[in-house]
Structure 1
């Protein structure tokens, strides 16, 4: 059946093709029709039609995005208008009342994220809009996440079909795999969040369980036999101090990224491993270049150049010099300078040439691995987001980190698109710059931990402001104030 539908869609041109690209995603997410209507297939094939020049790529993007947004809005209003009636039917009796009420409360409070993330899996695309309407989510909240999710999903699916070209079956498998990966990340994130919430809610009970386990004979033997190691491990896993679990996580991230960079470097040197995809990926990118995208990438790539990064750092230095974050200015320059030094040292050691100059857009000289733009951008923009996010509300922090991630990804994509680097050059730059950034984060956490009293110290604060058990600058334990007679 899908083969027959695909053949009919691929035979269309002009307005008929655009109508299908608009209608299928609209029907998919409106009134649960997505259970039988393959909206994702229509959007992917719209990208294939754009690849075959039957319709223009901007028109396909506009049709797919608008169809996704309109369909979700229709599903929302159907759920809001007729949802209660459906729940009172035989279909609604399958769901327990308490489970339904809990889901409605969750969607009413935190449903915006569900609307955005649900767009990337077929089953959730058909259900989430109607459930959001049933739960009484404000339409203003719904439409913001609906527009964001519809725009990102539809654009990504169209581009997958466009880059996949005639091999639309392979592109369909890519899209399904991406959707499943995103769903897995969402489930893992929700599980971790729930675990953290349960840990905070039942901290006393969990502490009691931990004390009972610590009192067992094997645990007591380990503490007696390895007291220093046990104490060190407890400090590393303490989530209440910056130099505890956060520091351990930063060091683990640095180790993982360094291992990734070492593996990529080995593959580049021996011309094997993941580097085998470089020529094929480069050929696909060159074959699908367009004028408007070349214009965008040619400007985006400057966000990772030293010329612009230095100017950004100068502006940030002047802006932060007189504020509470003035001490963080040095971290910005260390992040940028260290990244430049690292890729400058790494390039001659690997000595990898760039792609063919005949396929290069713009100007690029020197060696290829790792990408200097990718290395400097992840370290500089990442540290700038960290510095600016300190002490700000959660929404502002999320916005700053999201902006930094988008900039870094666009810079890497621009280097590949313009033919200045192979894909593994960019990945190597990300790994190298991410390693340096993680180490700097660990240093910042270590410094904060030294200036922040531990939980035990805070519990020992006396009325005079002295910390019980704390050391004086000379290493002596301060004495308690004498009692009055």
Structure 2
């Protein structure tokens, strides 16, 4: 269905196509069209029209951004005026009003972030404006996040289509994966926040006791006592070896899987690598003198000349503060592993860089993976983990956000300067995140000792799953 609609949009006169680019995101949340036809597809197709020279890129961007902002504003007003009335009809039979009240209070208190992040996934993009209106969120607050999110999402979608060109179906799949990833992050963040806020409350204890007492868990515990004890500990949010470790393992596994998938595409020269020439050509066509100088300076943030002294100074500072050489040892191991992985993968893949005539800085070695990007990911990541230990949640979030921003700038600089393909930096980021996660797991394992679970005693009958606080091993 979407392919058929897309072919019709691409065949329309320019002014009609621009009207569609405006109307689809505008109707997505205001008339719930997004449940049937995601607005991002229309924006990607608008980018394709601009890439083929049928429309101005500026005109497509203006139409897309305006439609995104107007649509969510209308959805907000509909929710504010008619939301409760709609729920008093047939729809209200399927919604518990206490749950709705709780959702409205949550969006009223923290809705700005939800409005912005919800823009990047179709499921939330359709619903959040109406919920924001129903919760009586202050409209100026909603408008600020709506404009910021609408401009970022519309620009990203149009540029994906502009760069992808005739390969827009692959670009649409990539955008859908980004949306699913954003939704997963939002849901994971919400679940983690809920667990953290309530782990010391009676709610968490009641939910745990209810799960432990359920018939399936009791049967599993009787049949596999050691296994259920181990699973219970892996889901315990109160200990570093419980839910936090499980989340890191899941992230490490996902990053490893993504890295292997990107590497397979690079070796076989298929799927994601089809975007590389288009991205490279688009960058060459949009270079600016001031941005050239900025990127040439920013790329040094991922070089050995900057990172090695920085890591050495940080390790010495941590030694002076904590009177142990362990942080410096971990820094050496993680950064050394990144350098080794870069050399091994580069020699195994043997991928050539873009043409040297397009470079704006010196480069050597194989193209995949990007050494600067991998080094920046490993270096700033290990520093965040070591420096964030024992600090407040806000400080940890600021450190992590700053490190992610620096890595993103370094990755963008390598593509902008013409020395790497897009998949080179994507593979480096996923490889770097995987290395950090598995290092975190090894570090936790060495701290707690490998024999904790192996030596666990038989599980008492009164706590068949081994999740009770009084039975937890220290």
Contact 2:84/2:134 (<8 A) preserved = no
Q: TM-score, normalised by structure 1?
A: 0.69
Query: What's 2:286 paired with?
Result: 291
1:307 match: secondary structure: helix
Structure 1 position 335, deviation (Å): 3.4
- Write the mapping of 1:78-157 to structure 2, written as runs, cut at 5 A: 78-80=78-80, 82-83=81-82, 86-87=85-86, 90=89, 96=95, 98=97, 99-122=99-122, 124-139=124-139, 141-157=141-157
Query: What's 2:52 paired with?
Result: 52
How far, CA to CA, are the matches of 2:441 and 2:391 in structure 1? Answer: 20
Query: CA RMSD of the aligned region, Å?
Result: 5.0
Deviates more, 1:319-328 or 1:337-346: 319-328
Query: What's 2:306 paired with?
Result: 308
Q: In structure 1, which of residues 6, 10, 15 is the aligned counterpart of residue 9 of structure 2?
A: 6
- Correspondence 1:380 to 2:379: yes
How far, CA to CA, are the matches of 2:45 and 2:216 in structure 1? Answer: 60
Contact 1:370/1:429 (<8 A) preserved = yes
2:270 match: secondary structure: helix
Query: Residues 324, 21 of structure 1: CA spacing in aligned structure 2 closer, same or farther, 3 A cutoff?
Result: farther
| Cα-to-partner distance string for 1:313-343 (whole Å, 9 max, x where unaligned) | 4675688687679978624455334422442
How far, CA to CA, are the matches of 1:194 and 1:9 in structure 2? Answer: 48
How far, CA to CA, are the matches of 1:215 and 1:255 in structure 2? Answer: 27
Structure 1 position 158, deviation (Å): 0.9
How far, CA to CA, are the matches of 2:286 and 2:439 in structure 1? Answer: 40
Query: What's 2:208 paired with?
Result: 206
Flag structure 1 segments of 5+ consecutive residues without an equivalent: 451-469, 472-485
Deviates more, 1:233-242 or 1:282-291: 233-242
Greater radius of gyration (CA): 1
Contact 2:248/2:441 (<8 A) preserved = yes
How far, CA to CA, are the matches of 1:215 and 1:66 in structure 2? Answer: 53
Contact 2:14/2:55 (<8 A) preserved = no
| Cα-to-partner distance string for 1:63-102 (whole Å, 9 max, x where unaligned) | 533543354345434543x236744875775665615434
| Cα-to-partner distance string for 1:361-411 (whole Å, 9 max, x where unaligned) | 432112233321232121112223333433444344334323433443443
Query: What's 1:72 paired with?
Result: 72
Contact 2:43/2:154 (<8 A) preserved = yes
Contact 1:282/1:416 (<8 A) preserved = no
How far, CA to CA, are the matches of 1:245 and 1:36 in structure 2? Answer: 36
Query: What's 2:469 paired with?
Result: none
1:288 match: secondary structure: helix
Contact 2:21/2:42 (<8 A) preserved = yes
1:165 match: secondary structure: helix
2:367 match: secondary structure: coil
Query: Residues 276, 17 of structure 1: CA spacing in aligned structure 2 closer, same or farther, 3 A cutoff?
Result: closer
Query: What's 1:282 paired with?
Result: 276
Query: What's 2:239 paired with?
Result: 241
Query: What's 2:440 paired with?
Result: 441
Deviates more, 1:52-61 or 1:143-152: 52-61
- Write the mapping of 1:218-237 to structure 2, written as runs, cut at 5 A: none
Deviates more, 1:317-326 or 1:391-400: 317-326
Flag structure 2 segments of 5+ consecutive residues without an equivalent: 450-472
Q: With CA pairs under 8 Å and 6+ residues apart, which has the higher RCO, 1 or 2?
A: 2
Query: What's 1:412 paired with?
Result: 411
Contact 2:24/2:67 (<8 A) preserved = yes
2:239 match: secondary structure: coil
Q: TM-score, normalised by structure 2?
A: 0.70
Structure 1 position 203, deviation (Å): 2.2
